[in-house]
Chain A
Amino acid sequence: AQSVTQPDIHITVSEGASLELRCNYSYGATPYLFWYVQSPGQGLQLLLKYFSGDTLVQGIKGFEAEFKRSQSSFNLRKPSVHWSDAAEYFCAVGAQLTGGGNKLTFGTGTQLKVEL
């Protein structure tokens, strides 16, 4: 069965500093990997996704992530954090369902706080 580990429950960074959020996954086949962001009381917004090809993927809001198969990791990065980036970030792996489609398995999330 697939699983996702986000080792950092909370991270605090200063505005303008760089950011890296860690994600490790477990999946038997080539994974579909995602990062979503959730603001308080809101649904999930897709930041970026990896299916195949270039292992460095660009997303919205200046975020990028790098897929490293050898480390089973898909870490999220941003060179300069803005106060509006404060939110909870979820890493997810997509697994194919019997009969088609796929389901997402999420990590427990990383809460990002940005200090001004």
Chain B
Amino acid sequence: DAGVTQSPTHLIKTRGQQVTLRCSPKSGHDTVSWYQQALGQGPQFIFQYYEEEERQRGNFPDRFSGHQFPNYSSELNVNALLLGDSALYLCASSSRRTVETQYFGPGTRLLVL
């Protein structure tokens, strides 16, 4: 049973560029959440996708956007990158039947220079 997968594992970008991160949920899951984890901090909620719609957004600017596809996989896009966007980006999946429990992928480490 494949768990949550994310790609790429690492990414280096320069300020002002745009980046797309990808996530495939655990088998049987239909809900995807994205979190940002800055160095030395706990993860912070960016947004959650269900039925290809954004359910709710955390305290992140519109530069952060996402998408969910019919197969439940998801993308996180960040435009106009800032140095402060350097972080580990974590994807978590859950099922509408057991929405409380989220399972995390290994993350994508983004470095903005």
Is chain B's binding surface mostly helix, strand, loop or mixed? strand
**Residue in B closest to A9 when the chains form the complex, CB atoms:** B40
B58 at the interface (CB under 8 A from A): yes
Q: How far is the CA of A107 from the CA of B43 in the complex (A)?
A: 8
Q: B100 and A44: CB pair below 8 A?
A: no
Given contacts A43-B90, A43-B107, contact A106 B42 (CB under 8 A): yes
Contact indicator A97/B48 (Cβ below 8 Å) = yes
What residues of A have a CB within 8 angstroms of the CB of B99 in the complex?
100-102
Would you call the interface of chain A mostly helix, strand, loop, or mixed? Answer: strand
From A44, A46, A97, A109, give the contact of B55 (CB < 8 A). A97
A92 closest partner in B (C-beta): B42
Residue of A nearest to B35 (CB): A104
Q: Is the CB of B48 within 8 A of A101?
A: yes
A42–B45 CB distance below 8 A: no
Closest B residue to A108 by CB, please name it. Answer: B42
Q: Which residues of A have CB within 8 Å of B31? A: 101
Q: Which of chain A's residues have a CB closer than 8 A to the CB of B27?
A: none
- Among candidates A45, A98, A108, residue contacting B56 with C-beta atoms closer than 8 Å: A98
CB contacts (< 8 Å) of A43 on chain B: these are 4, 6, 90, 104-107
Question: Do residues A36 and B104 form an inter-chain contact, with CB atoms below 8 A?
Answer: yes
Q: Is A83 an interface residue (CB 8 A)?
A: no
B-side interface residues toward A, CB under 8 Å?
4, 6, 31, 33, 35, 40-45, 48, 50, 55-56, 58, 90, 92, 94, 96, 99-107, 109
